[in-house]
Chain A
Amino acid sequence: MQGFAYEAPSSLDALRARLAAAQGAGELTQVLAGGTDLLVQMKQGQRAPGLILDIKRVGETQALTVDGESLTIGASVPAAKAKAFPLVAEAFPGLAHAIDLIGSSQIQGRASLGGNLCNASPAGDTIPALIANGFEAQILTAGGLRTLPVEAFVTGVGKNALASGEVLLALKAPVPGPRSGDAYQRFTPRTEMDIAVVGVGARLTLDDAGVIASARIALGAVAPQAFLAEAAGAALVGTRGEPEALEAAAAAAMAAAKPISDKRGSADFRRRICGVLVKRVVAQALERCTTGGAK
């Protein structure tokens, strides 16, 4: 790794102040949470920051709370802790599964959802699940806070919407009501320790007649960044998730997918698997609408 300075501010103010100073001095600053992507990238020379700011000692980034309406997950909360949080496990089983797919048990002991999001890999497992669940990113700015929906936070391969001097502080989403369920599935050649060839997240909510009232389908690894496939969701609204509806959603998702060909799979293969996963994920989310999900 190329040389850098390491600092770990212990308060929001200290963090904000250090960021401002670094910006003023034109220091190439890199925020560190779990570091499971960052350290690998630095070892491989893909990133060479002059200053590492470890945010794990800033309390707000470690928050894991529910305030009635919404769930907040601090940006540096490790995956293992997040997936074990009762509300996440109960009301967001799809997200919990996505978190569980991040690397190994060892990686999950360190990797954070915030880091996974900021790293903005097209294949990042939690991102489609976060988008499907309507999470918004809470961003610390020089002046205060701003928020962005997760789908707007990721802007390209390894690119996010943070301006220089800004830091992702937390992720926040409404706690789902009744008759709602989410799901996430990815496709990889191995069962574990692999990078998604395709990832699909879904959040469905039914009306009291059992008709799909809202549907958010998010796709990963089939475009420069994970995104909300609105047409796929729209194809489900007003249906009960009948086979034709699933086919329509899959077709819409495949049409929206813009995959590339690389060592992990060809564009055609990805598009095709995308269609298969959309059907499987929607079916699973639908089942959770009735059997579980929100308490």
Chain B
Amino acid sequence: MSEAMDFKVIGTRPIRPDGVDKVTGRASFGADFSLPGMLEGAVLRSPHAHARIKSIKTDAALAAPGVKAVVTGADFPQVAAGAIEGGEGGGDFADLAGNVIARGKVRYHGHAVAAVAAQSRAQALAALALIEVEYEPLPAVLSLDAALAESAPLIDEGLMTSGLPEPATAPSNLASVIEMGNGDLEAGFAEAALIIERRYQTPTVHQGYIEPHACVGRWGQDDQAMLWCCTQGAFDVRSMTAKVLGQPVGSLKVIPSEIGGGFGGKTTVYLEPLALQLSKKSGRPVRMVMTREEVFRATGPASAATIDLRMGFSQDGKITAAEATMAYEAGAFPGSPVGPGTMCVFAPYRIANFRIKGMDVLVNKPKAAAYRAPGAPQALFATESAMDEAAEKLGIDPIELRLRNAVEEGDSAIYGPKFGPIGLRACLEAAAAHPHYTKAKDAGVGRGVAVGFWFNVGLQSSAEVHINEDGTVTVIEGNPDIGGSRASMALMAAETLGVPYESVRVVVADTETAGFSNVTGGSRVTFATGMAVVEASKDIIAQCCSRAASLWSTDEDMVEWRDGAVHPRPGVNVEATPLSLKDLAGQAGRMGGPLLGKASLNARGAGPGFSVNLCDALVDQETGQVQVKAFTAIQDAGKAIHPSYVEGQLQGGAVQGIGWALNEEYVYSPEGVMENAGFLDYRIPVASDLPMIDTQIIEVPNPGHPYGVRGVGETPIVAPLAAVANAVSASAGVRMTELPLSPPRVLEALDQA
């Protein structure tokens, strides 16, 4: 594609197709669906962080008023190990099944042990209290150090570390090790005029979507099942649920509701298999909705991480060597995002000599789920904090220091492949010139800079474009609209077909109606599903050209598509007035049938996304309280299809990152019980905590997409952790290396300063 492309509708800011439904309360979310005769389900959860289940007695519960079915782990098949593919990022079907409902052992406080379906939720809850579970409590492993200690209690007695040079000889809580490296590390450090060596730590945090998980399941006597649920990927719910229940994929229809936030946390299943199993047993539809407390105790979270970093710099600020040892908490089952973390940790920079080791570690906490750029925020919090400290010590402007090391097109990423066109330099230059950066700081305020990076993925997508008889357009796709993607799809279809945006409607369809598509995640929808929509629109154009050519008794190569109509090519001698989409749609029935365009693909050419964030923060020297005074997010979007929703991604990611940096964390009791499982004490940012979040969209087109799109959804959460920490460190006059930067922690640091 060429940068000179002039767009008709792409880059404008129309109202999203689903907008009115969502501002009037008409939109139907996960908990808003019901079926005749529907039962209400509830889950019995483990009161222990780690225990053996000796026995479960359900008779009393089954006999309780209104109760129609009870299920335990014994009602589910044993699932064979096998990698889960497609956007979820790590994980194994057997572990997934074990997380959905415990068998033999509970691995975290809140782990599902049994589920009940009754005529009312009150009856279901009452019945839970009648289920007798005999536990043999085991010591809980709640930190990376405890998990990796000699003779640590084993969370999975059969777990052998993978990725070791020599096969592991004994089980441990270390699920896997990943290593990368290049060059001569010690020679690199020997060259260094300055070495920064520190340990950086980030806490367990939750995605914090406002809509709790919810679903309605209905199982038929013919073993055909239906699931209505809020998810980032109906097809993934279908494959995971089918696997957990041991059913053929084709017997399960998944209807995605509108989704009230996900951020990666709704790319797996929790309630869905339980609801269907309860429906199968009771012969009735079953609705299950989590409470907020259940969401905190049993879903998400994002991995806590400890990163030991060592970076060497020459006097003029070139990175001479870098080493990182990264341990991520996987939760109770293997599969933290430490893999992507190891690839991200030094990704923004040219480094000849480096060594990276990543460790996936089991602890007695909920199984980590994907959270926006999984693994990257923890990794770049470490690197960007060290870069900031180096800039300070070398007396080099922090943006200049990054420019001296920044990767650009043609450089090999530390994880191997060469970068195509990327926007890191453009973002850094924009930041240096930004009024936020050039204006003087207020008294006491610290200013922080940080770089963010995420790969962005492609994966599989399908789309259909239907041309209605009056020339209006219906786009059918399979990706739940989590942040305005219907608008981007409509814009790309309208641009390609040359029709008005308003004439395009976009339908997010169920698994029996739409072609297969992987999750709404990995920043892939506007890129990959958008590509499918463009391809399907081109399919329509080809059909239009061929029909017009026949109509004009000429060859297809004698005609061309221009401004939403078929024209004879310039100089082609045919008596013909151009035929618009409307003209051809009106006569479609008489020209071989309806105009229906299709595309299904596994998108190639995803373009990496870089960002730069600026943060001004003020520390109250007496209380340690931090106030974010100004924040600017600059990011390369490739091409912003709907700029307002791109800005929205930058702003939302920035604020989630600010929360991660300042106050969000799981607080655990010594027994492994989360003590702040609610929005009152798990402190996500509220409106009054924040300034406006300034944004600047950089557009370095991605050649891998017909309109130059890169994903934008994930990169925004990567840089804020270090941007905030660097600003706080500057304001406090002491280097902060452990998140969150809560008042007690900052005050403690001020004391030591």
Contact = CB atoms under 8 A, between A and B. Distances in A.
Query: Would A and B touch once assembled, by the CB under 8 A criterion?
Result: yes
A192 interface: yes
B689 interface: yes
Which of B680, B688, B744 has the most chain A CB atoms inside 10 A of its CB? B744
A265 interface: yes
A106 interface: no
B683 A269 contact: no
B698 to A, nearest CB: 32
B742 A194 contact: no
A273 interface: yes
A256 interface: no
A191 B681 contact: no
B743 A189 contact: yes
Given A189-B742, A192-B686, A192-B688, A276 B622 contact: yes
A258 B688 CA distance: 31
B139 interface: no
B689 A191 contact: yes
Interface in A261-284: 263-266, 269, 272-273, 276
A190 B622 contact: no
Given A263-B667, A263-B675, A263-B676, A190 B623 contact: no
B747 A191 contact: no
A123 to B, nearest CB: 11
A193 B663 CA distance: 13
Given A195-B681, A273-B623, A265 B744 contact: yes
B675 to A, nearest CB: 5
Contacts of B689: 190-192
Contact of A190 (B675, B676, B683): B683
Interface in B735-753: 742-744, 747
Interface in A165-207: 187, 189-195, 197
A190 B663 contact: yes
Interface in B659-701: 662-663, 667, 675-676, 679-681, 683, 685-686, 688-689
Interface in B134-187: none
Contact of B747 (A190, A263, A272): A272
Nearest to A276: B622
Interface in A17-32: none
A263 B622 CA distance: 20
Contact of B685 (A1, A190, A195, A197): A190
A193 B680 contact: yes
A273 B122 CA distance: 43
A189 B667 contact: no
A189 B747 CA distance: 12
B644 interface: no
A1 B744 CA distance: 36
Contacts of B744: 265-266, 269
A192 to B, nearest CB: 5
Which of A189, A265, A269 has the most chain B CB atoms inside 10 A of its CB? A189
Contacts of A197: 743
A189 B689 CA distance: 10
Contact of A194 (B623, B662, B680): B680
Contact of B625 (A189, A193, A263, A264): A189
Contacts of A189: 625, 662-663, 683, 742-743
Contacts of B688: 191-192
B681 A264 contact: yes
Contacts of B675: 263
Which of A1, A193, A194 has the most chain B CB atoms inside 10 A of its CB? A193
Interface string B637-673: 0000000000000000000000000110001000000
A195 B680 contact: yes
Nearest to B674: A263
A191 B686 contact: yes
Contacts of B681: 195, 263-264
A192 B742 CA distance: 15
A39 to B, nearest CB: 14
Given A189-B625, A265-B744, A272-B747, A194 B683 contact: yes
A1 B667 CA distance: 26
A284 B675 CA distance: 35
A263 B686 CA distance: 20
Contacts of B742: 189
Contacts of B679: 193
A89 to B, nearest CB: 20
Interface in A189-237: 189-195, 197
A217 to B, nearest CB: 18
Contacts of A265: 743-744
A110 to B, nearest CB: 16
A191 B680 CA distance: 12
B686 A190 contact: yes
Contacts of B623: 187, 273, 276
Interface in A231-247: none
B747 A193 contact: no
Contacts of A272: 747
A170 B685 CA distance: 36
Interface string B685-725: 11011000000000000000000000000000000000000
A193 B686 contact: yes
B515 to A, nearest CB: 43
Nearest to B690: A191
Interface string B601-626: 00000000000000000000011010
A190 B664 CA distance: 11
A92 to B, nearest CB: 23
Nearest to B663: A189
A192 B684 CA distance: 11
B630 to A, nearest CB: 16
Contacts of A193: 679-680, 686
A191 B742 CA distance: 13
Contacts of A191: 686, 688-689
A253 B590 CA distance: 90
Contacts of A266: 744
Contacts of B622: 276
16 contacts: A1-B122, A187-B623, A187-B625, A189-B625, A189-B743, A192-B686, A192-B689, A193-B679, A193-B680, A194-B680, A264-B681, A265-B744, A269-B744, A272-B747, A276-B622, A276-B623
Per CB-CB distance, the 7 closest pairs between chain A and chain B, nearest first, are A191-B688, A276-B622, A263-B667, A263-B675, A269-B744, A192-B688, A189-B663
Interface of B: 122, 622-623, 625, 662-663, 667, 675-676, 679-681, 683, 685-686, 688-689, 742-744, 747
Given A1-B122, A187-B625, A263-B681, 20 more contacts: A187-B623, A187-B743, A190-B685, A190-B686, A190-B689, A192-B688, A193-B679, A193-B686, A194-B680, A194-B683, A195-B680, A195-B681, A263-B667, A263-B675, A265-B743, A265-B744, A266-B744, A269-B747, A273-B743, A276-B622
